[in-house]
């Protein structure tokens, strides 16, 4: 019986994958591609290192100066402080991130070219200090000079490999999805959150640098 028990133990141990060579760098790299359960399945020793990986990937997102918006009366709005030209109304149409990037680049709205998607700091300048009626006639957390109706959410070019930790008015939000996810601004609830780039939900807001 004792021999049988020892044999069973050895067979069991032999069936459990051992990944003693999983180093911190390997585990941190996995966090951009796999969820925590998948990582622990591959590397049972990963648990104490997951939190460390989150900490080393933190970077500071610097906000832009407060914008000074002017309605140009032609469907565009100028920010004279940050030298940006915005379309006054966001373009609704649930789009994957890569498609949104291309759509912005080829846009010729209002007879102008050179449009692009905004960075997260740029799009955050459209947020307003309170929920007010905007140019669309509905309440949202957006500067009232803009037209966003009830307030939708829009892609930015800021991906999670560039910035993995964001703090908005609700809480600290962590994204360990690498370049497979990007940050959004939601004007209906005044929130920033991330979304997988291969999913079709967010909308597009065009911006371009002033010449």
Domain assignment present for residue 62? The answer is: no
pTM (predicted TM-score): 0.75
Query: CA–CA separation, 112 vs 142, rounded Å?
Result: 24
First to last CA, the chain: 85
**Partners of 173 in the beta sheet?**
166
Helix (H, G, I), strand (E, B) or coil at 132: strand
Same domain, 121 and 171: yes
- Up-side HSE of residue 15: CA atoms within 13 Å toward CB? 6
Residue whose structure tokens are 């918006």: 69
Let me know whether 100 and 136 are in one domain: yes
- Say which residues have a Cβ less than 8 Å from residue 177's Cβ, sequence separation at least 6: 32, 160, 194, 196
* CB-based contact 179:160 (threshold 8 Å): yes
Supply the pLDDT for residue 104. Answer: 97
In three-state secondary structure terms, 147 is: strand
Q: Which of 180, 186, 178 is nearest to 162 (CA)?
A: 178
Decide: 95 and 107 in contact? Cβ < 8 Å.
no
In this structure, the answer to whether residues 174 and 96 fall within a common structural domain is yes
Q: Pick from 12, 27, 56: which residue ends a domain?
A: 56
Q: How many CB atoms lie within 10 A of CB 12?
A: 9
User: Are 160 and 192 in the same domain?
Assistant: yes
Same domain, 46 and 87: no
Per-residue pLDDT of 69-126, as tens digits, reads 999 999 999 999 999 999 999 999 999 999 999 999 999 999 999 999 999 999 999 9
Cα(197)–Cα(184) distance, integer angstroms: 11
Give the containing element (helix H, strand E) for 16: none
Which residues of the chain are modeled with pLDDT < 70?
Answer: 1-21, 31-33, 35-37, 50-60
CATH number at residue 82: 3.10.100
Q: Residue 83 falls within a domain, yes or no?
A: yes
DSSP-derived secondary structure letter, 45: G
Same domain, 52 and 87: no
Same domain, 92 and 189: yes
Range of the domain at 197: 69-209
Instruction: Please give the helix or strand (H or E) that residue 192 lies within, else none.
Output: strand 191-196
Q: Do 199 and 114 fall into the same domain?
A: yes
For the chain, what is the domain count? 2
DSSP 142-188: E-TTSB-TT--EEEEEEETTT--EEE-SS-EEE---GGGEEEEEETT
Q: How far is CA 45 from CA 89, 146, 186, in A?
A: 50, 51, 38
Cβ distance 95 to 103 under 8 Å? yes
């Amino acid at each position: 019986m004792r021999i049988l028990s020892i044999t069973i133990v050895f067979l069991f141990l032999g069936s459990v994958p051992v990944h003693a060579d999983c180093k911190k760098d390997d585990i941190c790299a996995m966090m951009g591609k796999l969820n925590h359960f998948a990582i622990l399945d591959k590397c049972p020793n990963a648990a104490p290192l997951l939190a460390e990986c989150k900490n080393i990937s933190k970077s500071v997102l610097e906000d832009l100066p407060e914008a000074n918006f002017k309605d140009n009366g032609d469907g565009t709005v100028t920010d004279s402080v940050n030298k940006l030209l915005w379309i006054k109304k966001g373009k609704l149409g649930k789009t994957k991130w890569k498609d949104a990037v291309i759509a912005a680049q080829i846009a010729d709205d209002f007879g102008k070219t050179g449009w692009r998607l905004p960075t997260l700091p740029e799009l955050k300048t459209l947020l307003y200090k309170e929920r007010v009626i905007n140019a669309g006639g509905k309440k949202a957390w957006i500067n009232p000079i803009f037209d966003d109706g009830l307030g939708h959410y829009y892609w930015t070019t800021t991906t999670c490999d560039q910035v993995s930790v964001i703090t908005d008015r609700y809480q600290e939000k962590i994204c360990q999805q690498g370049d497979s996810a990007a940050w959004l601004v939601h004007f209906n609830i005044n929130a920033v959150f991330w979304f997988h780039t291969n999913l079709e939900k967010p909308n597009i807001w065009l911006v371009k640098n002033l010449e």
